[in-house]
Amino acid sequence: MRMRKKRHGEERLARCAEFLLTDPAALFGDPASPFYGREGEIHLEIGCGKGAFAVESAARHPERRYLAVEKVENVMINALERAEAARESCVGNLRFLIAHAEDLENWLPPRSVSAIYLNFSDPWPKKGHVRRRLTAPERVEQYKRLLAPGGRIIQKTDNDELFAFSLGTLEEAGFETEFVTSDLHASSRAEENVMTEYERAFSEQGKQINCLICRLPD
């Protein structure tokens, strides 16, 4: 069923226009241009949802530039409004793009991204839908082209099947596994972890969170 458009959606987008990339071609020509010329690594979140992870990450790490991608405009409105509410801490180093994952190479130049976050992506559990997973082999090859040497993919998920699948496809593609856990919140990376909306809800339900970090060799 198609999601109903939010009331006053266009007006709400306009109020947050500074955070939204409407000319992504400029990003391809000069990745620094939408960030007021600010330098620093580009970190890409694919499927940013309502923006909690992107906004907090940008506030914690002003030395980085964050690009958060979401394909659903209605959901993106929430993310943009969250960023606008916290604008003093993230306006210089956070931008959002309404786009599909398969189109990212149209907007980002090769080897321009230092980290890709895949937070609680749709697991597409049906056998006929495996190719739609964000860690399907075709998508992983795309990430390899976007990542700079030494770049990382960081995935968090509550879905064990997707987690095992992702470990397999990333290793087969030549990524080196740097960190893997089935209980992120009890791991050595718990303190630096930035939670998403889904993650907070799952944690309150007592669910354990899987996390992996894979590195593209230099």
- Nearest CA to 122 out of 162, 179, 153 is that of 162
Q: Which amino acid, residue 207?
A: K
Q: How far apart are CA 218 and CA 206, in angstroms?
A: 38
Counting Cβ atoms within 10 Å, is residue 192 exposed (0-12), middle (13-18) or buried (19+)? Answer: exposed
How far apart, in whole angstroms, are the C-alpha atoms of residue 55 and residue 91? 9
Look up residue 187 and give its DSSP letter. Answer: S
Coil, strand or helix at 209: coil
CA distances to 17, 64, 94, 206 from 20, rounded to whole Å, are 5, 17, 9, 35
Is 122 tagged catalytic?
yes
Q: Dihedrals φ, ψ of 43, to 5°?
A: -115, 130
Out of 23, 30, 122, 160, which one is annotated catalytic? 122
Burial of 193 (0-12, 13-18, 19+ CB in 10 A): middle
Tokens, residue 100: 């599909």
| CA-closest candidate to residue 111, choices 42, 40, 39 | 42
SS3 143: helix
- Catalytic residue positions? 122
